[in-house]
Amino acid sequence: MLPLSHAKAWRTASIVLVAAVVYASLRPVGPGPDLGHLDKAAHFLAYAVLGAWFGGLVPRNGYARVALALAVLGLALEVLQQVMGLGRTGDPNDMVANLAGIAAGLVLAWRRVGGWALGVEAWLARR
């Protein structure tokens, strides 16, 4: 993690963000409309946000670990969806969307917003 003054708060927010993705991925679903490609877009967006989020909290040399951790999370959730039997099914195309989102979020962090948490803390310190 970057040398952040509010590291505990950033860790807590990270846990909440990951927990929200886990909940959204595993909550039981009932019958409803088929979301089709919107489901893939949701996977892409969720993992892009996670990639950009963690890209703001770790130095660039930690991006490979972030990518690996998020990929493992996505794969574990797809496997759990398949074995839980709560109206969800694992889908290899969801995993593809997850991986594309991770890549997009980390590329965004690398090129534009990496280390954003340091900027937020600097802004807060001026207040």
Question: What is residue 34's predicted lDDT score, i.e. its pLDDT?
Answer: 64
Residues of the chain with pLDDT under 70: 31-36
Question: What is residue 7's predicted lDDT score, i.e. its pLDDT?
Answer: 97
Q: How many CA atoms lie within 13 A of 99 on its CB side?
A: 11
Q: Taking all residues of the chain, what is their mean pLDDT, rounded to a whole number? A: 94
Contacts of 6 (CB under 8 A, 6+ apart): 121, 124
CB-CB contact of 101 with 44 (8 Å): yes
Q: Hey, what amino acid is at 34? A: D
Question: What is residue 35's predicted lDDT score, i.e. its pLDDT?
Answer: 66
CB-CB contact of 86 with 29 (8 Å): yes
Domain definitions of the chain by residue range: 7-126
